[in-house]
Chain A
């Protein structure tokens, strides 16, 4: 019985995959054709929907500019430092909240309710504290990624198998040993997930801050192309940023999965 179902499933599976791919190609082609037709028809304001050729050329010109890579480096540095500070702080706070029931009852609801507030509204304060330079953007990245990491780690701590913790205690592990030998390895998945979420919001926080007030970074390039009404360039920059952000997100979750597989 099982064999027959396998036999019938196998040949049916193959064309299904290629049909999906075909459909994907069809959807993309349809979107591109509709886009190009809209661009050619002049129904919308000129330049709001530029021709694909123009956007393609703009992507190429963005990717071949040395200037772009300098700005990308600035943004990457800001996001990286923000993620580092916010991530480590989130990890420490998350472990403290997750390990101690009393601390969690006393303070976790602050984080829980502050988490879904729009972080960008702190930007004026961050400018006053850290200046208009990269400092305030790093601060935005830090604030943004702190909450998801802390909440994810705190939740992860509570899911750790009680047996593992008891094993650690019975070996008389001190706090540092408990953290490095028991807690961290046991919560790889929630940590990776927290970092993934944190990276996403850190990118958003940093780039939004750059669009608001900055003279460098990719966010600045985007808002600059808006103020000079260079729409093809804006599309090009957005495409590049989206590809990089989604790629970084996929990379982090891939890393998490790989480690999980190795651990088995």
Chain B
């Protein structure tokens, strides 16, 4: 057992070790003057500026704001995404007519519409929430549809043989069977929403963590900018891990 866990730990340790070594190498190269320190600040400086950025730039408030935006975008895209998915599944002809459109929307660069949203909603949190919502909507619809359409025939037949009403058939059979796929859709939607929320915050210079990077970069606070980027990466990685856990936790045992 320990041998097995050792075997697994070695590559991970080497991965982390390589990262640390690379950071150390950059530090040495900058100190030796081979990398311009006005373009890449010393890694030690970046680490040192973490505390300053967190304390002085109001990271907790910004983090909370971004989190709230992501939450509302998730609520919106869960309600509308699942709702539209159910609607398209129930009305077959509507699905035939529009499924390719939804798929096209998923591959369209929707975040580019942010100037349009700025005009419609103004430069405030609702623009950011709506951007996150629009960006994450298509995968939720598609995954909901996929889950409902992929319900095993046997389960539906069992429901029919119990003479379930269409409503009962939906709630007792189709919806529970589709849940794993719906969760995958919501997870994807949440990730797209967060990417776009932070991105739009940065682009329109409003709100939470994204704006912080923009502000520090405009002040030419190099170490601070790098530290803030590291922080945002950390947050999105944690968010990603969280959504994965959530999905696993919510997924019914097959």
Which chain A residues have a beta carbon within 8 Å of chain B's beta carbons?
16, 19-20, 23-24, 27, 44-45, 48, 102, 105-107, 109-110, 113-114, 116-118, 120-125, 127-129, 196, 200, 203-204, 207-208, 211-212, 219, 222-223, 225-226, 229, 231, 234-235, 238, 241-242, 245-246, 249-250
Contacts and interface: CB of A to CB of B under 8 A. Distances in A.
Interface of B is mostly: helix
Interface of B: 8, 11-12, 14-15, 18-19, 39-40, 93-94, 96-98, 104, 107-109, 111-116, 118-120, 191, 194-196, 198-199, 202-203, 210, 213-214, 217, 222, 225-226, 229, 232-233, 236-237, 240-241
A106 to B, nearest CB: 4
10 contacts: A19-B93, A48-B119, A114-B233, A117-B237, A118-B202, A203-B109, A204-B109, A207-B112, A225-B115, A246-B107
Given A120-B203, A124-B214, 14 more contacts: A23-B97, A44-B120, A48-B119, A105-B11, A105-B15, A106-B11, A106-B12, A120-B199, A121-B199, A211-B112, A222-B112, A226-B119, A241-B112, A245-B109
A28 to B, nearest CB: 10
Given A23-B94, A27-B97, A121 B109 contact: no
A48 B120 contact: yes
Contacts of B40: 129
Contacts of B210: 118, 121
Contacts of A113: 237, 240-241
Chain A, interface SS category: helix
B237 A124 contact: no
Contacts of B14: 106
Q: Which 4 A-B pairs have the closest CB atoms?
A: A124-B217, A105-B11, A226-B115, A106-B15
Contacts of B194: 116, 118
Contacts of B237: 113-114, 117
B195 A117 contact: yes
A207 B114 CA distance: 12
Contact of A231 (B8, B94, B119, B217): B119
A187 B133 CA distance: 34
B115 A128 contact: no
